[in-house]
Chains A and B, each alone.
Chain A
Amino acid sequence: MNSQRPITAESNEPPLLEVEGLGMTFGHGPEALPVLEDVRLRLGQGECVALIGPSGCGKSTFFNVLAGLVRPNDGKIRLRGRPADSLRGIVAYMQQKDLLLPWRKMLDNAVLGLEIQGAPRSEARRRARELLEVFGLDGFEDRYPDELSGGMRQRVALVRTILCGKNIWLLDEPFGALDAITRREMQRWLLKAFSRFKASVLLVTHDVEEALLLADRVYVMTARPGRIRADLDVPLDRPRRVTQSEMVRLKEELLDLLESRPEGEA
């Protein structure tokens, strides 16, 4: 087992992030649309936790709440045991769209976060160059996003995410738009990034294999309104292979959870 990654955070220390009873409803009165209901989860320091569920289960809304873009109607967020409104300022965020600015060359896209924080330009560029090299992007610094492949663009987005220097990463289906081969490649890059930067990661995905390849724990969500219906440990060393017998068993378990209806529902 990977000693650096505690599987559960049941020590005396409060976990890095705790969410309890989070609820979110869009609209009012008869048209009110409950999107999230009593969402609870925990993320330990250095842990990678995946959130998996059918599309429309409010995963992205949940991330927007965490990132402080929308206010929840209900619930508590605690950071290392202390109540917090959101994780604004301490999270980095990456989604399916790479969101590279088309008018910025690769290097200038990578430094965006640092630039906003007001970091000195030459220092920011030096750090970006270093990281771009780690992710096999050196030599392309002066290319516009239009001139890059999907996998490269997503890696630039990852570099931009890392460079923000935040220790919690919210990854919202980061590789959802890529083809299967590129996705596998990106997952390897991501694993490399986790261990190198000791980040704590919350990963939303609807790819069961992706969740099992990357995460220490997997939360399964229900369809709208999104609730956490199960919590599954993945006690396997990395790198993992999808063909491992343990993986196959876990995959089966996850798929069963996703496909069956939760108790109490017709």
Chain B
Amino acid sequence: MKSRILNVVLPLCVLLAIGLIWEAGVKVFNVPHYILPSPGRILVVMWDRLGLLLFHGLITLLEVALGFLVALALGVGLAVAIYASRMVERSLLPLVIASQTVPVFAAAPLLILWFGYGIGSKVVMAAVIVFFPIVINTVQGLRAADPDTVALLKILEASPRQIFFKVRVPQALPYFFSGIKIGVAVSVIGAVIGEWVGAQRGLGYLMIHANAQLQVELVFAAIGILSLLGVGLYALVSGLERVLVPWRR
């Protein structure tokens, strides 16, 4: 218990120390606030413009969440198809793996062209990013079942359907979750890059806008909210994993 508290407290102390050094450095070297604002100023701006930040933050969150749901549906579907059919596996799996080397971020301008300045292009961006780790990990998980356990189920006269749901699916869950965890933080970056390239809302849009007006405090504040968003989503997934995969410690 004590060590768990320390696990939280110690990093926070380091963070605080960095903040203090930063604050002092800005004062001592007289750095102009439109180049590097002090943490104090950032916090003040964050508080003053909280409504604005939350509005754009919610847009970004919505994009990530919708993208995630799309990726979940398509990714798990494709993973099951790859698992179930040799044909699908041989024709699609190499492409899925190879496509991971394509820098999706670089395709952002195209996505804006195809899916518009609205939320759609960012949803697609986030979805594409979470999609691959979900597919790859779920396929791996579905195949991870112990052959002896499968043989046992056969001897118990289980149907292929029973073997799938009683052994393969639970076995795949931890893999599935690690795929999601890989994807979730990166998908936030994906949505933001989409917003940079072309949007009227969202934290990425806010950052570009504020940067142009030398409101650097607001840029930092947006980055802060984005980080919280990423951490929050990761924690949410971890919490869900703890509920759905309680046997893993």
Contact = CB atoms under 8 A, between A and B. Distances in A.
Interface of A: 64, 67-69, 88-89, 91-93, 95, 97, 99, 101-104, 112-113, 115-117, 144-146, 164
Interface stretch (B28-36, B43-51, B145-153): B145-153
Nearest to B149: A99
Most chain B CB within a 10 A radius of its CB, from A93, A104, A116: A116
Given A102-B248, A116-B153, A144-B247, 7 more contacts: A67-B155, A89-B157, A99-B149, A101-B166, A104-B247, A116-B162, A145-B247
A103 B245 contact: yes
B109 interface: no
A134 B224 CA distance: 60
A144 B248 CA distance: 10
Interface in B139-179: 146, 148-149, 151-158, 162, 166-167, 170-171, 173
A97 B155 contact: no
Contacts of B4: none
B177 to A, nearest CB: 13
Contacts of A89: 157
B155 A103 contact: no
Given A93-B152, A146-B247, A103 B157 contact: no
A88 B157 contact: yes
Contacts of A67: 151, 155
Given A67-B155, A99-B152, A117-B157, A146 B249 contact: yes
A216 B248 CA distance: 43
Contacts of A99: 146, 148-149, 152
B152 A116 contact: no
Give the 10 A-B residue pairs with the shortest CB-CB distance, closest first.
Answer: A103-B170, A93-B155, A103-B247, A116-B158, A144-B247, A113-B156, A116-B156, A67-B155, A99-B152, A102-B247
8 contacts: A89-B157, A95-B152, A99-B148, A101-B166, A101-B170, A103-B246, A117-B157, A146-B247
B248 to A, nearest CB: 8
Contacts of A103: 170-171, 173, 245-247
A89 B154 CA distance: 9
B157 A116 contact: yes
A91 B155 contact: yes
B148 A97 contact: yes
A69 B170 contact: no
A104 B167 CA distance: 10
Contacts of B170: 101, 103
A167 B153 CA distance: 18
A142 to B, nearest CB: 11
Contacts of A113: 156
A164 B249 CA distance: 30
A67 B157 CA distance: 10
Contacts of A68: 155
Nearest to B169: A103
